[in-house]
Amino acid sequence: MRKFRSIYLWLGLILMVFALAGCARNVDLRQQAKEEKTQEQKSITSMQEAADSQDGFGHPMSSGTSDVLNSDPMKILFVGDMMFDRHIRETVGKYGNGDCNNILEPLKEKLSEYNLVVGNLEGPITDKESVSTNTKMDESKNLIFTFDPAVAKTLFDNNIKLVNLGNNHILNQGEKGVEQTKKFLDEAGVEYFGYDESLALVKEFGGVKIGFVGYNYSVSGSADVTVENIKKAKEQSDIAVVLPHWGAEYKTGEPGASVRALAYRFIDAGADAVIGTHPHVIQNSEEYNGQKIYYSLGNFVFDQYFQKETMEGLGVEMTINPDRTMEFGELKFEMTKKGQTVLGQ
């Protein structure tokens, strides 16, 4: 009998050990499940934060130069075509001791007054040698541009921290030239839009989100894409500005019926302002449905000294008030034969 009691006692002890082990395992499993759930929640939160930080076009949301502008007006200056090759490149060595900042030195203080300066970069920034220097207007190489890598820092140093790449010269050095352009701009801290996957960009300044949308006449089907990008920009921002590269070169005054119709189409799609480049001369401006249209700002940095109109440019000052209303002002620029841009009369 004692023998059977001993057996039962040992069996009971063994069963108790297994039971305790099972409980411990259940506790471990519950703890593991809890930790996995916590980790999953962290991942979801991280992905949501990443999504919230993008601009609606799949790109990181940029914050502006100031984060405290809710009670103060914000001022953006839009300038025209910027070309840093050909005679402009030559003047850097001749008059600027090799410093590209010489080009905009007369405007440095003025440009610093704005929260942001935006311009059209009329060509790629690459490490290739120029083929357009010392060429004549009727030579084919005269219109093939490449800008010195130092130009990227010159833009940043002069508060031109956003550029439009959507134009007919950005591919002068092929796709590799565009890649280098983006690389040099990234390194200098200059943002860009208007080309390929970067057709549009949303920036935030002190709670005000502004969408910048490009249009390039030289890309087939670009108008329809631009309309869709305007709609997306309006979903993601308070104000959408379209910067089209369009129109007839050297045509002053009226832009033409087709360009005007396209401007109206962009505003009907939701654009709050349309500010154009490409003709190399200043063209008319107007309002449509309460929104401002500047058809062409003309040149800002260029060496077209063959007529007075191509040596002049317009700067558009956009003031955004705390209530999101906008006011517009204008600046005149002049380009000198020493390669500099100065304030006009």
The letter for the amino acid at 307 is Q
The residue-averaged pLDDT of 118-144 equals 96
Give the pLDDT score at 10: 53
> How many helices and strands in the chain, by DSSP H and E?
7, 15
The residue-averaged pLDDT of 312-317 equals 98
Distance CA 328, CA 323 (A): 15
Which candidate, 44, 47, 126, places its Cα nearest to that of 84? 126
Q: How confident is the model at residue 207 (pLDDT cuts 50, 70, 90)?
A: confident
- Strands 160-164 and 116-121 turn out to be parallel
Does the pLDDT of residue 45 top 70, yes or no? no
What is the pTM assigned to this prediction? 0.82
Give the pLDDT score at 264: 98
Give the pLDDT score at 102: 97
Distance CA 317, CA 280 (A): 19
